[in-house]
Amino acid sequence: MRRILIVLALAILLLPAPPSTKPAAVRPGTLLVTARAVPLDSSDPDRRRVGTLTYLGGWQLGSDNPGFGSISSLLVDGPGQILALSDAGVLMGFHVGPGRASRRPFIAPLPVRAQDRDRPWWSWDSESMTHDPASDRYWVGFELLQAICRYSPGFARVEACRTWPEIVAWPKTGSIESFTRLPDGRFIAIGEMGMTADGHHDTLLWSGDPAEHDTADPIHLHYVAPQGYRPTDMVALDDRHLLVLNRRLTLQELFTATIAMIELPAHPAPNTELRARTLARLAPPLLADNFEGLALSREQGRTILWVASDDNHEFFQRTLLLKFRLD
């Protein structure tokens, strides 16, 4: 019975409602983050391999700042330089691991347009983030608002926002969790609970910027997730290959996650199936939690994969940040 109650509580926390434990307002300032190293497998601390990934290290993160946590997406710029975004519209910049930080740690709310300043704080349910290194612009997907917004370099201001009927058709409780920009300028999003008639996840592929009002309508694709899993984030390896983070909550194992690869056809046709090929599964006795954030970086010519968990600002959950090498 206790495990059933735990699963029910965790399932409720996955909904984008405004829990009373979340900070109602966050002031910009310096952020001090603690990082405690954690093994991949507590029963075998020397274990380094999981699927096609090599574990390079992991940390349980914490901070006395009440705005820290609830990470839903992240970007990595250089070794250990993290830019995380919470599901309450809060940016957090900090450094983990060896080496020196390239910028000062900070915490700050996302900028908003004048016409949006009267919206309640909890409506800024930011669940996904992507970046164009050439222009230094950022895009954020909002689940409750069911909108995509573009931000100027450094998140200085909002440049454009757009709501798409294709996203509005998805449930607000399971919308634009997975969203990324491809190197060639296309954008792709997977509905966490936006399903197709054949039971797969509705996927939208735009030819250009989805925050712009003159961008053409996206084409619909079908993401075929690992059985029982739902997508929570996505990153692009190149113009055709993407990695998808998937989450599952069950009575037997509680949270588990898979990291899977999908391949876009050279010329995608509407309703093309994108079948997940699992690269690794995170389940007990390995570190397993409410993993929602996925990011890529490059170190010494190798592809590095980062995975972050959302603690929902709850004392019984953790903010984990894991680092893998993609082999």
Q: How many angstroms separate the CA atoms of 96 and 175, rounded?
A: 30
pTM of the model: 0.93
- Here the tokens at position 90 are 């809060």
158-168 residue pLDDT tens? 999 999 999 99
Instruction: Give the pLDDT of residue 25.
Output: 73
Residue 59 is which amino acid? W
Residue 6: pLDDT above 90?
Answer: no
Q: How many angstroms separate the CA atoms of 89 and 297, rounded?
A: 23
Residue 195 is which amino acid? M
Half-sphere exposure of 154 (CA within 13 A, CB side): 3
Residues 237-249 have a mean pLDDT of 97
275-295 residue pLDDT tens? 999 999 999 999 999 999 999
Q: How many angstroms separate the CA atoms of 10 and 124, rounded?
A: 21
CB neighbours of residue 134 within 10 Å: 8
Q: In this predicted structure, which of 149-153, 183-187, 263-267, 311-315 has the lowest mean pLDDT?
A: 311-315
Residue (of 122, 126, 90, 212) closest to 163 by Cα position: 212
- Here the tokens at position 173 are 């409780």
Residue 3: pLDDT above 70?
Answer: no
For tokens 């993407």, the residue is 242
Q: How many angstroms separate the CA atoms of 34 and 91, rounded?
A: 17
Q: DSSP state, 80? A: T
Give Cα separations from 285 to 43, 56, 172, 288, 293 (angstroms). Answer: 7, 17, 33, 8, 21
Rounded to the nearest integer, the mean pLDDT of the chain is 92
* Phi, psi at 96, each rounded to 5°: -130, 155
Residue 2: pLDDT above 70?
Answer: no
Q: How many angstroms separate the CA atoms of 118 and 79, rounded?
A: 38
29-65 residue pLDDT tens? 999 999 999 999 999 999 999 999 999 999 999 999 9
Q: Which CATH number does the domain 2-326 belong to among 1.25.10, 2.40.50, 2.60.120, 2.120.10? A: 2.120.10
Q: DSSP state, 70? A: -
Give Cα separations from 120 to 20, 123, 125, 142 (angstroms). Answer: 14, 6, 11, 14
Residue 129: pLDDT above 70?
Answer: yes
Domain boundaries, the chain: 2-326
